[in-house]
Amino acid sequence: MLEVDNIRAGYGAINVLWDVSLSAAAGQMTTIIGPNGAGKTTLLRSIMGLLPLTQGDIRLHGRSIRGTAPWDMSGLGVAMIPEGRMIFKDMTIEENLLMGAFPKQHRAAARQKCEQAYAMFPCLQERWNLLAGMLSGGESQMLAMARGLMSDPELLIIDEPSLGLAPVVVNELFGVLGRLKAEGRTIILVEQNTQKAVGVADQVHLMQSGKIALSQPAAEVSLEHLHDLYFAH
Amino acid sequence: MKTNASIWVLLLVAYGAIPLTLGSNHYVMSLLVAALVIGGIALAWALLGNLGGMVSFGHSAFFGVGAYVSALLTLKAGTPIVIAMLLGGVGALLASLVMLPVLRLRGPYFALAILAYAHIFKIIATEWTAVTGGSAGLSSIPRFPTAFGFDFSGKVGSYLIILSVVLIFALCYRLIRASDYGIALRAMHDSEDATRVIGVNSVLLKALMLFVSAFMTGVIGAFNAHYINFLEPDYAFNGLWVTLPIVAAIFGGYRTILGPLIGAVTVYLIDQLVFKSLIPYGHQLILGALLVAMILFSPSGLVPLLRASVRRNHAAG
């Protein structure tokens, strides 16, 4: 469904991604793991068009999306749930959700999508009128996920959802990820929690120093081997 | 209900009581007009800051361009003043077009870049002698005409014009803020990237806010040109046309719509009527101290402070 073909990208003079290629198959969960600074978030930002590519191409359904503005990605059925949640703290939970359906083509269905989000995340429904800044870390992450789902994306790009969350909440979160996968959504997940991430994944990629160090189907991944590579530097 | 009632009372005072009781006092009326001019710029500046998240030190450029465009159109092309004022706003909007490249910058970088841009227009006004009259300036700019049997060129007439212009702008601001775009702009404060990935064209929205803000400031500048009938580059592009509004907006509460207006009227009148009579020279010092005190004790400004105390009284009573 999504193909990243030999891309380079970075910040100004500093190049971060070195000839990265990977693909995400429809209906599957593609997981990218790797240590801090490996370029995982940079890769996701490049896919979303938040960063320009200096080399290579990214294709969605076989069509190049290189140079597509980030705000046009939701029209193509792609949504991102950014690292650190980035929820709108000064707005209520419901306003946050409605923002997720901001593009005109989604606004008509926004109410109905809101109800679906509440069904999936009951903790949000109870507090629909509360300012999002008052939520705990786990609840903020759930809100960020719910907001990302408001545009009913085919492809969901999730950046480090378990960052800084308590183990119980992490379990709950991976439960949600499992449900999303069961709904048939294509997911690209960046995670640091290797054990959990490999557990839900179909395909696993390990990134190191801006390169893909290992690509394997999740079933074949040996966590021990993975950890050896992970800490090899 | 409560706020609606108080707004009606304010309108009644502004349109009825003030012109009727103070109309013959030219000094106070001219202070009020000056305060509303500053208030209008403060409103436009706060719109850009509050909705667009941009801190501008370049509004003096929009003010000056609006003033010059309107003055030149009436002087050289005989354009009716009302149309010339609107075109002054359009001129300021066009001036803001060349500032679009700096929209990519954030925070202090944007503020510095726009300050530099503002200076360019002052140099153009000074050096393009054939059109602008250079540093000698433009004089006998047409006054406001008599309409509906009322002479708008006087103090009371000018007061009514600027009051109406500023209130219409406040209404536009309110409409923008309440719209879908206003909500998206509010979301942008927290995270521009997050708004982008959910499908908000943040660059376009910010540019639109810059246009609206520039247009408003240009119209105010045009008003001022016809009000004082004289322009020169050092006056029209003076940095005070942005620093005073900033002080007023922060003092009144730049996140609110009426805050910048109320801030401007309060700050300017207190400064001119009280501080100036106490300390004839350097009275702005007290203004600075007042601003510091406001930032320390009520960082969100005067209007939120008043609202909070009204709410407390209600709870107590």
Rounded to 5°, angle at Cα A46 from A45 and A51 = 85
Residue B1 has a pLDDT of 47
Facing residue for B197 by CB, picked from A48, A89, A106? A48
Q: Per this entry, what is the length of chain B? A: 317
**Is the complex ipTM more than 0.85?**
no
Residue-wise pLDDT for A32-41, tens only, equals 998 888 999 9
Residue A142 in tokens: 């759930």
Nearest chain A Cα distance for residue B184, angstroms: 7
From edge to edge, which strands make up the β-sheet containing A63-64?
A14-24, A2-11, A53-60, A63-64
Facing residue for A71 by CB, picked from B180, B186, B200? B200
Cβ–Cβ of A102/B193 closer than 8 Å? no
Residues of B in Cβ contact (< 8 Å) with A90:
186, 189-190
Residue A128 in tokens: 């629909």
Is residue B50 less than 8 Å (CB to CB) from chain A? no
Nearest chain B Cα distance for residue A71, angstroms: 4
Residue B156 in tokens: 């009371």
Residue-wise pLDDT for A122-172, tens only, equals 889 988 899 999 998 899 999 999 999 999 999 999 999 998 899 999 999
Residue-wise pLDDT for B248-261, tens only, equals 898 888 888 989 99
Walk along chain B (317 residues) and give the pLDDT tens digit of each residue. Answer: 456 788 888 888 888 888 888 878 888 899 999 999 999 999 999 999 888 888 888 899 999 999 999 999 999 888 899 999 999 999 999 999 988 888 878 778 888 888 888 888 989 988 898 888 888 788 888 888 877 877 787 888 899 999 999 999 999 999 999 998 888 998 887 788 888 988 889 889 999 999 999 999 999 999 999 999 999 998 999 888 988 898 889 888 888 898 999 999 998 988 888 888 888 887 778 878 888 888 888 888 888 888 888 887 777 65
Nearest chain B Cα distance for residue A147, angstroms: 8
Cβ–Cβ of A74/B195 closer than 8 Å? no
Q: Torsion over CA of A42, A45, A49 and A55, rounded to 10 degrees?
A: 20
Residue A48 in contact with residue A42, Cβ under 8 Å? no
Amino acid letter, A127: R
Helix residue ranges per DSSP H, B128-232: 129-132, 155-178, 180-190, 192-197, 202-228
Q: B280-291 b/e with 16+ CB inside 10 Å = b?
A: eeebbebbeebb
- For B:154-193, CB contacts with A below 8 A are 180, 183-184, 186-187, 189-191, 193
Q: Count CB-CB contacts under 10 A for residue B213.
A: 29
Residues of B in Cβ contact (< 8 Å) with A88:
186-187, 189-191, 194
Backbone angles phi, psi at A182, to 5 degrees: -65, -30
Is residue A167 less than 8 Å (CB to CB) from chain B? no
Residue A126 in contact with residue B210, Cβ under 8 Å? no
Is residue A72 less than 8 Å (CB to CB) from chain B? yes
What is the model's pTM?
0.84
Cβ–Cβ of A99/B189 closer than 8 Å? no
Residue-wise pLDDT for A44-85, tens only, equals 999 999 999 999 999 999 999 998 999 999 889 999 998 877
Cβ–Cβ of A82/B197 closer than 8 Å? yes
CB pairs under 8 A between A and B: 76
| Three-state SS annotation for chain A | CEEEEEEEEEECCEEEEEEEEEEECCCCEEEEECCCCCCHHHHHHHHCCCCCEEEEEEEECCEECCCCCHHHHHHHCEEEECCCCCCCCCCEHHHHHHHCCCCHHHHCCHHHHHHHHHHHCHHHHHCCCCEHHHCCHHHHHHHHHHHHHCCCCCEEEEECCCCCCCHHHHHHHHHHHHHHHHCCCEEEEEECCHHHHHHHCCEEEEEECCEEEEEEEHHHCCHHHHHHHHCCC
Amino acid letter, B243: T
Residues of B in Cβ contact (< 8 Å) with A131:
none
